Amino acid sequence: MKGYVHSVETGGTVDGPGLRYVVFLQGCPLRCKFCHNPDTWQCKAGMGTSYTAEELVLDILKYKNFIKNGGVTLTGGEPLMQAEFAAEVLRRCTAQGLHTAIDTGGAIPLERARPAIDAAQLILLDIKHIDDAKCRALTGQGNENALRLLDYCQQTGKEVWIRHVVVPGLTDDLQDLERLAGWIAQYSVVKRVEILPFHKLGEYKWEQLGLNYELKNTPEPTVESIQRIRELFTKYNLNVQ
């Protein structure tokens, strides 16, 4: 079995606990307007670097002494597009005593994603929008699969960290956020909520790919607005970062 890898980061600090080896896998069915990795959307021969699970894990193990108190995170793109490959990588890492995580937008149907979800110790779930219609307008797909994934994690006792990107004018409506916070608060497996400010670091990639970047004139959120949103989530007794 082979997988397609866009790139790796050997000292990641924002994709799960501790210092981590982060694997960016090719492929994503979403077309988020704020995506900073549009070069990961396609998943086919010639895109990224081809690895077997064994080859990738052998490279990960070169850094085992550095990440032994952190672990390995598979992200993308959407790592669950390559669910069987991801599952095999995660199982091999777990067997080596490494903590494992998947960073996902939850866009892949559970039936297809389950092998990788079951193999991971932590799920970093990006909920793009709690409103299905607004989620579809923002990403090209509704939120049904993401919410179903969260239900599955609750049923199986899988630890989840929720992530939400704040984009002014698109994902910062306080009524929507109040609804999202109330929804998340129902789940005992959610141990952390990360409120992430939108940024434009990937804008140049859109230009290089000849894609229309609709958020060219969208400002980054203010420190004050992010703090206000974090306080809103804290009202629901959530661990907010």
Going from N- to C-terminal start, the domains of the chain cover 2-234
Across 159-188, average pLDDT: 97
Q: Determine the Cα angle at 161 with ends 30 and 120, to 5°.
A: 80
Neighbours of 165 (CB within 10 A): 23
157 contacts 191 by C-beta, under 8 angstroms? no
User: How many CA within 13 A on the CB side of residue 118?
Assistant: 10
C-alpha distances (whole Å) from 153 to each of 106, 150, 191 are 12, 5, 12
pLDDT at 46 over 80: no
pLDDT at 45 over 80: no
Give tens-digit pLDDT for 188-240: 999 999 999 999 989 999 999 999 999 999 999 999 999 999 999 999 999 99
pLDDT at 176 over 80: yes
Fold of 2-234: TIM Barrel (3.20.20)
Higher pLDDT residue, 42 or 148?
148
Give tens-digit pLDDT for 21-31: 999 999 999 99
73 contacts 44 by C-beta, under 8 angstroms? no
Across 48-61, average pLDDT: 95
